[in-house]
Amino acid sequence: MRKKKYEVTDIEQIEAIIKQAHVCRLALTDGIIPYIVPLNFGYKRGSLFFHSGHAGLKMEMLAKNPKVCFEMDIEHKMIKKDSPCSYSMKYKSVIGFGEARIIEDNARKKEALNCIMGRYFDGPLEYKEESFKRTAIIEVIIDTLTGKNAFSDD
């Protein structure tokens, strides 16, 4: 990170940002083109979870290259100054790298789906069998996490 004063290295602070984020952007490449997609997600230390259909560009790219990058951000605040080139943005973010894999085991798949849905849904987590079968679960095993707090110089 270029400006070390913004760097967050404490895992508890990084996880606080993750906990507040509503969307995670997953970046993929097949070696030719890049692709980024905003997704709902679940987090358990060391892993991110995403749900998907079994087909589509995201799944095709993951089959070709399971290495991914991801990003989430919160608390955006525009800082206006006297000239446009003086403007800045305050925010907190997490960027990481990892390797994706599809969860095949139904018990692990349900646990991961509960991790995702538990972030967004307050009721009981029950799934219709047909919907469950149609749902693929992507687990990203996290290699690195970097946090940023652009409010740290306030």
- Residue 32 domain-assigned (yes or no): yes
Strand (E) positions, 53-121?
A: 67-79, 88-102
pLDDT at 125: 81
Query: What are the beta bridge partners of residue 113?
Result: none
Q: Kindly write down the DSSP assignment for every residue of 2-46, as one continuous string.
A: --GGGEE--HHHHHHHHHH-S-EEEEEE-SS-EEEEEE--EEETT
Total number of domains constituting the chain: 1
- Residue 53 domain-assigned (yes or no): yes
- Residue 67 domain-assigned (yes or no): yes
- Residue 154 domain-assigned (yes or no): no
* Single-letter amino acid code for the residue at 140: V
- Residue 111 domain-assigned (yes or no): yes
pLDDT tens-place values along the chain, 154 residues long: 566 677 788 999 999 999 999 999 999 999 899 999 999 999 999 999 999 999 999 999 999 999 999 999 998 887 788 877 777 778 789 999 999 999 999 999 999 999 999 999 887 888 888 888 999 999 999 999 999 888 766 5
Domain that holds residue 11: 4-124+131-149
> Looking up tokens 């995201």, which residue turns up?
58
Contact 77, 89 (CB under 8 A): yes
pLDDT at 77: 85
Q: Domain with 85 in it: what CATH number?
A: 2.30.110.10
pTM of the entire predicted model: 0.89
- Residue 15 domain-assigned (yes or no): yes
pLDDT at 12: 93
User: Cβ of 153: how many Cβ atoms within 10 Å?
Assistant: 9
- Measured in degrees and rounded to the nearest 5, phi and psi for residue 40 equal -70, 155
